[in-house]
Structure 1
Amino acid sequence: MTMKQTLIVLAAVAATLATTGAHAECLSDAQVAALAAHYEAKTPAPNFPALSDVDGACTRAKLNSLLAQRLGKVVGYKAGLTNPAVQKRFNTDKPVWGKLYEGMVQPSGYTTPTAFGARPLFEADMLVRVKDAAIHQARTPYEVLQHIDQVIPFIELPDLMVQAPPQLNGPGVGAINVGARLGVAGQPIAVPATRGERYALLDALERMTVELADASGALLASGKGSDILGQPLNAVVWLAQALQQEGITLQPGDLVSLGSFSPLLPPRPGLSVTATYWGLPGAQPVQVHFK
């Protein structure tokens, strides 16, 4: 081998090492057990190195296995990082998903301690309720409407769990079950029966303005329906396909959280937050209180 060939080989090895060194492997059982223990104690867990998509999914599966032992029944799923602004915050260009467990979804007007998690936040979100498993064949927002029966205003209360959340990458957010912890759901809106009404609903979902305000009416944050993948129900298309790839089938009654219409904001004691969905017919405000 000539000197030039040797240098080329060494450069290739160095590049490979640099690439592989940038990502951790799937977290070990002991590391995931520690994550679960911090989740239960509501204390920040140590950060872990940036994960690849595969290792993020592997870590999430291990964590979900432990969370299920404590939290019980899965009541739905959440699509996370569906808003480009939130993707940018976590240095990614694709969504991730997590599981919602029994007790995570509370009614509008719910009061929670400010420290409901290790790294508590709140955001304007939305739920839909699955009507049948054929939702996995939906490839457009209109097709999604044929397989859901409710659209539900929702303030999510995620918990980013780790000591330094800004250091998480996209798969790292997936690894912590996309921070699923709590949320408050408002009055459901029934999906209309006729084609014309359904297209009107799709248009309203895309064009609506979602605002978060405090008890005085002061605006805390806002966003548009189109901030979620151009059309909120695109999050359902993405999630249904992502779950199917992992052998998971959505069931009638499952809830799906679509993602953030607003920035992630920290709660404070005494704060009451109301989310209003301007331009979405039938949508009643949803509210949460922090003590």
Structure 2
Amino acid sequence: MTLSTTGLRTAADRLIAAAAGPLQCDPVRDILSGTDIAAAYAVQRLLTDDSLARGRTIVGHKIGLTSPAVQHQLGVDQPDSGVLFADMRVANGAVAETNTLLQPKIEAEIAFILAEDLDGDLSESRIRAAAGIAMPAIEIVDSRVRDWSISIVDTIADNGSSALFVLGSNAVAADDLDFAARTMQLTQDGIAVSTGRGSDCLGDPLNALRWLARRAIENGSPLRAGHIVLSGALGPMVPVRPGSAYAALIDQIGSVEVSFAPVIGGR
């Protein structure tokens, strides 16, 4: 299907208004075809253009829906991607405000800080060289779509259901680490709530990076050196509980922490 410019704008404006509220909105799949991935990314680009016009700065990209457990949780069957902006980053160990979030969930990931552009050769050796350094990361995902009732086009259009991210203080070289073998544990107030391993992320987080690099080239905006890339969840996501503290430990890479402020004003 070829969606009109008006249709794309209508879908984008619905999501932009919901984010500004913040408030939950109806899915945009009633505007977009339920399988029109290209239209969904076109809506995401409109959201990105709106953010840039408001002075936000792109610092990287996220890959979502890489874990079979997360795909099962949300009822989708393929990865997606979104844009990371500077104001989405929360300092390691800081307290994240909750009043700007709607229905947040949290997941542990491996982040890469790219050492080279990825705009041509996407061989295994090239991907590993470009991966640069790896860091433990937490992503806080959030959907503007009411009750997380999303299809793949809803979450793509909604910038990959993104909200906030946290990078740990440790960084390791990506050149010789076996990412598929890494294990992850995410705790909430000291109690394990999610576990997984690198192989749960499209078989290997480097596979996820290659997937994103290919998608970025197809979209006309290749990945560049210095970009942060969140490679996708290593285990099931869990709902955020305001007032709680979360910590993720990824073996041989490090740990990362974030807490959430209690809800103020009853929202």
Instruction: Report the TM-score range of the alignment, normalised by the length of the smaller protein.
Output: 0.7 to 0.9
- Once residues 79 and 136 of structure 1 are traced to their aligned partners in structure 2, the CA distance between those partners, rounded to angstroms, is 19
The letter of the residue matching 2:20 is: E
Q: Do 2:8 and 2:39's aligned partners in 1 also have CA atoms closer than 8 Å?
A: no
- The structure that has the greater radius of gyration is 1
- Once residues 171 and 206 of structure 1 are traced to their aligned partners in structure 2, the CA distance between those partners, rounded to angstroms, is 28
Residue 254 and residue 177 in structure 1: after superposition, are their counterparts in 2 closer, same or farther (change >3 A)?
A: same
Match of 2:204 in 1: 231
- Once residues 120 and 138 of structure 1 are traced to their aligned partners in structure 2, the CA distance between those partners, rounded to angstroms, is 34
Matched, 1:174 2:147: no
Q: Do 2:119 and 2:217's aligned partners in 1 also have CA atoms closer than 8 Å?
A: no
Identity %: 26
Alpha-carbon displacement from aligned partner over 1:180-232 (angstroms, at most 9, x marks no partner): 2211110242316xxxxx33x1x2x21121111123x2111111110001011
The letter of the residue matching 1:213 is: T
SS in 2 for 1:248: coil
Answer 1 or 2: which has greater strand percent: 2
Match of 1:243 in 2: 216
SS in 1 for 2:134: strand
In the alignment, structure 1 segments of 5+ residues that lack a partner are 1-19, 193-197
Match of 1:261 in 2: 234
Match of 1:5 in 2: none
Alpha-carbon displacement from aligned partner over 1:51-93 (angstroms, at most 9, x marks no partner): 4212212221222222222352110011111112222334433
Match of 1:15 in 2: none
Match of 1:44 in 2: 24
The counterpart of 1:288, out of the listed 254, 258, 266, is 258
Matched, 1:53 2:26: no
In the alignment, structure 2 segments of 5+ residues that lack a partner are 262-267
Match of 2:264 in 1: none
Question: TM (normalized to structure 2)?
Answer: 0.88
The letter of the residue matching 1:208 is: R
Q: Do 2:114 and 2:226's aligned partners in 1 also have CA atoms closer than 8 Å?
A: yes
Q: Comparing 170-179 with 58-67, which one deviates more in the overlay? A: 58-67
Alignment of 1:130-279 (within 5 A): 130-134=114-118, 136-140=120-124, 142-165=125-148, 167-191=149-173, 198-199=175-176, 201=177, 203=178, 205-215=179-189, 217-278=190-251
Alignment of 1:97-112 (within 5 A): 97-112=81-96
Q: Do 1:150 and 1:188's aligned partners in 2 also have CA atoms closer than 8 Å?
A: no
- Once residues 81 and 180 of structure 1 are traced to their aligned partners in structure 2, the CA distance between those partners, rounded to angstroms, is 12
- Once residues 119 and 92 of structure 2 are traced to their aligned partners in structure 1, the CA distance between those partners, rounded to angstroms, is 27
Structure 1 runs of 4+ aligned residues shifted over 6 Å read 23-26
SS in 2 for 1:86: helix
Residue 131 and residue 231 in structure 1: after superposition, are their counterparts in 2 closer, same or farther (change >3 A)?
A: same
Residue 129 and residue 106 in structure 1: after superposition, are their counterparts in 2 closer, same or farther (change >3 A)?
A: same
SS in 1 for 2:27: coil
Match of 1:6 in 2: none
Q: Do 1:39 and 1:118's aligned partners in 2 also have CA atoms closer than 8 Å?
A: no
Alpha-carbon displacement from aligned partner over 1:236-281 (angstroms, at most 9, x marks no partner): 1010011001111222211111111122221122200000113x2x
Q: Do 1:121 and 1:264's aligned partners in 2 also have CA atoms closer than 8 Å?
A: yes
Residue 116 and residue 124 in structure 1: after superposition, are their counterparts in 2 closer, same or farther (change >3 A)?
A: farther
- Once residues 158 and 85 of structure 1 are traced to their aligned partners in structure 2, the CA distance between those partners, rounded to angstroms, is 15
Residue 76 and residue 158 in structure 1: after superposition, are their counterparts in 2 closer, same or farther (change >3 A)?
A: same
Query: Displacement of 1:134 after TM fit?
Result: 4.1
Aligned residues: 256
SS in 2 for 1:168: coil
Q: Do 1:120 and 1:160's aligned partners in 2 also have CA atoms closer than 8 Å?
A: yes
The letter of the residue matching 1:99 is: V
